A and B are shown apart, each in its own frame.
Chain A
Amino acid sequence: MSLDVFSLLAIAAGAFFFLAGTVGLLRFPDALTRLHALTKADNLGLGLVVLGLLPRVDWPLGALKLIVIWLVVLLAGATVGQLIARVARQARPSP
């Protein structure tokens, strides 16, 4: 029962970060601030959803797989964030 409550709280927090990421992506004024909103949704949103699902999968292999998926997304997010920031900086007129 308490594990269900924990799952729901963590998943609700993750869904909130996806909401915040979308609102930021749509409302923030320029590309670099939008990148900031996107990376929060990527890392924390998915991280909290994975944390909420951990008590609900087979232990230990299923849980390990979920954590590996999150680590892959973290690694990809860090790499792609750098690449997108470079593209965004080139698109800006030089100061």
Chain B
Amino acid sequence: MADLLLAAAGFVLLMVALGLVRILRGPTVADRIMAAQLLGTGGIATLLLIAAATGMDAAIDVALALALLAAFASAAFAYGAADPDDPEADRG
């Protein structure tokens, strides 16, 4: 069972790593944020699977920290990319 969980973790990590090609290809900033967001979620899933496979419960706490940091990173990136002249953009 632990081997299967590790295999699933490797598969998810491979998928989000492939998704990073979108950061290179762009073409818009929104596409690049999306690839980073997918990397964050896939990293959380990978950490949870590794925690269950190896019994290393600390990895679950790392996943929780990654969930918070990925959210702030994407939100900050989106605010930085927003057009300052757009009247709808509430930049707080």
Residues of A within 8 A of B (CB): 4, 7-8, 11-12, 14-15, 18-19, 21-22, 25-26, 31, 34-35, 38, 41-42, 45-46, 49-50, 53, 56-57, 62, 65-66, 68-69, 72-73, 75-77, 79-80, 83-88, 90-91
A-facing residues in B1-37 (Cβ within 8 Å): 1, 4-5, 8, 11-12, 15-16, 18-19, 21-22, 28-31, 33-35, 37
Contact (Cβ within 8 A) A25 B52: no
**Which residue of B is nearest A53, CB measured?**
B52
Contact (Cβ within 8 A) A87 B81: yes
Q: How far is the CB of A12 from chain B (nearest CB, A)?
A: 7
Number of interface residues of B (CB under 8 A): 46
Given A4-B1, A31-B28, A72-B68, verify A84-B15 contact (CB < 8 Å).
no
Contact (Cβ within 8 A) B38 A22: yes
**Which residue of A is nearest B47, CB measured?**
A69
Query: Is the C-beta of B71 less than 8 angstroms from some C-beta in chain A?
Result: yes
Which residues from chain A contact B70 at a C-beta distance below 8 Å? 76
Contact (Cβ within 8 A) B29 A87: yes
Complex Cα spacing A18 to B13, Å: 9
Given A8-B4, A34-B34, A42-B37, verify A86-B88 contact (CB < 8 Å).
yes
Complex Cα spacing A77 to B19, Å: 17
Given A14-B45, A19-B15, A83-B74, verify A25-B60 contact (CB < 8 Å).
no
Which residues from chain B contact A14 at a C-beta distance below 8 Å? 12, 45
Complex Cα spacing A21 to B12, Å: 11
Interface centre among A7, A42, A87, A91 (most CB of B within 10 A): A87
